[in-house]
């Protein structure tokens, strides 16, 4: 018999680490198998059952997973983030899109063998939005899921297309077959704002100025923001991101009226973040040296997003507003992390 497991791809990223810790702390969870091209940091190893070092583009590897495990749920986190993706658009497409198709196909096969749906939890991003100009961004009400979805980055295009792929696999897979069958993919997607973790630094994102500012101050290093002080987008502290992923995964399917849900916590400008950081780390040196390319990307992301659908369908509510996120989670945990107290 193949053991029943939960699979996490891209497990060595900051969302992966957070999710592994949460699943480890929960009771009665199936064993966790993680897959990451870089392996898993050694301090995380004791928290998972099996680590596979490998590429989601390696179909032989996915076939092996097929034969060795009965996968009940897939958290498909593997992706190249927005800044990295801009430098390598074709690679971004391969990893972010082909990688996702490979995993969706794995979910279809798994579901056939199991005779039950496979949950497919997919993090998307505010990068799917594309505000045409700053005046529109400033005037816009919090954006619902389907407004202004005209991304300007390859990463945003990839994420938006993968949301559609999820919808296709969930609702329209093989619609022309003589006897159409359901794919068995129970696709569920949260659109995240910029995430900030006290324990890990993101790599290759464009919302990274917020965590970079904070981590630099905690380390006593100067920081130059690559966006203007007035730049504003939505953010979320990592514990709430975990809460969103796990609550959506646990929600009864019949309560979900859509497949893609915005989730958000608070919106702050770079200057507001710098002010909080300087209050907590007096003497922190934070300057601004906006780089036009990355500035344009963040300017194309909305100031606020509307997460009413998630609140209504699966009772989503963040635990951390800006005040709590910084004063009760980020600052104390970061102090502990870098300064030991």
CA–CA dist 312, 5 (Å, integer): 30
Q: Does 81 bind ligand AKB (CB under 6 A)?
A: yes
Cβ nearer to ligand AKB, comparing 108 with 154: 154
Q: Does 82 bind ligand AKB (CB under 6 A)?
A: yes
Identify the bridge partners of residue 71 per DSSP, sorted by sequence position. Answer: 5
Q: Which parts of 134-163 interact with ligand AKB (CB under 6 A)?
A: 155
Among 16, 166, 205, 318, binds ligand AKB (CB under 6 A): 205
Q: In this chain, which stretch among 34-42, 130-138, 204-212, 279-287 interacts with ligand AKB, using CB under 6 A?
A: 204-212
Q: Does 51 bind ligand AKB (CB under 6 A)?
A: no
Q: Can you count the helices (H) and strands (E) in the chain?
A: 14, 12
155 is a catalytic site residue? yes
Q: Which of 129, 155, 209, 223 is catalytic?
A: 155
Q: Does 305 bind ligand AKB (CB under 6 A)?
A: no
Which residue, among 98, 95, 100, has the nearest Cα to 85 in the 3D structure?
Answer: 95
Cα 142–Cα 263–Cα 168 angle in degrees, nearest 5: 100
Q: Does 125 bind ligand AKB (CB under 6 A)?
A: yes
Cβ nearer to ligand AKB, comparing 156 with 184: 156
Collect all residues with Cβ–Cβ distance below 8 Å to 194 and sequence separation of at least 6.
126, 205, 207, 208, 210, 233, 234, 235, 236
Residue 126: CB atoms within 10 A of its CB come to: 26
Collect all residues with Cβ–Cβ distance below 8 Å to 172 and sequence separation of at least 6.
none
Among 95, 106, 108, 127, binds ligand AKB (CB under 6 A): 127
Q: Does 200 bind ligand AKB (CB under 6 A)?
A: no
Positions that interact with ligand AKB (CB under 6 A): 81-82, 125-127, 155, 194, 202, 205-207
- The residues that are catalytic are 155
């Amino acid at each position: 018999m193949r053991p029943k497991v939960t699979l996490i791809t891209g497990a060595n990223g900051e969302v992966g680490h957070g999710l592994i810790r949460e699943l480890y702390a929960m009771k009665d969870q199936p064993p966790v198998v993680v897959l990451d091209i870089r392996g898993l940091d050694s301090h995380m190893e004791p928290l998972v059952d099996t680590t596979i070092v490998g590429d989601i583009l390696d179909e032989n590897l996915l076939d092996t997973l097929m034969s060795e495990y009965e996968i009940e749920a897939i958290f498909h986190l593997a992706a190249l983030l927005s800044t990295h993706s801009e430098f390598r658009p074709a690679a971004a497409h391969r990893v972010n899109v082909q990688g996702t198709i490979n995993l969706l196909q794995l979910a279809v096969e798994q579901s056939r063998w199991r005779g039950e749906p496979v949950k497919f939890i997919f993090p998307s991003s505010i990068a799917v939005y594309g505000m045409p100009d700053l005046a529109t961004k400033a005037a816009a009400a919090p954006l619902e899921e389907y407004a202004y979805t005209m991304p300007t980055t390859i990463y945003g295009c990839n994420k938006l297309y993968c949301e559609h792929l999820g919808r296709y696999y969930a609702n329209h897979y093989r619609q022309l077959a003589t006897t159409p069958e359901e794919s068995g993919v129970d696709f569920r997607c949260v659109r995240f704002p910029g995430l900030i973790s006290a324990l890990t630094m993101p790599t290759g994102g464009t919302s990274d100025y917020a965590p970079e500012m904070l981590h630099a101050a905690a380390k006593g290093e100067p920081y130059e923001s690559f966006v203007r002080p007035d730049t504003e987008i939505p953010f979320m502290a990592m514990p709430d991101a975990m809460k969103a992923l796990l609550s959506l995964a646990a929600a009864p399917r019949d309560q979900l009226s859509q497949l893609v849900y915005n989730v958000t916590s608070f919106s702050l400008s770079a200057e507001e973040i710098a002010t909080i950081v300087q209050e907590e780390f007096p003497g922190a040196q934070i300057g601004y040296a906006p780089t036009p390319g990355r500035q344009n990307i963040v300017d194309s992301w909305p100031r606020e997003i509307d997460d009413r659908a998630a609140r209504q369908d699966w009772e989503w509510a963040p635990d951390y507003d800006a005040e709590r996120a910084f004063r009760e989670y980020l600052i104390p945990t970061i102090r502990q992390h870098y300064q030991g107290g």
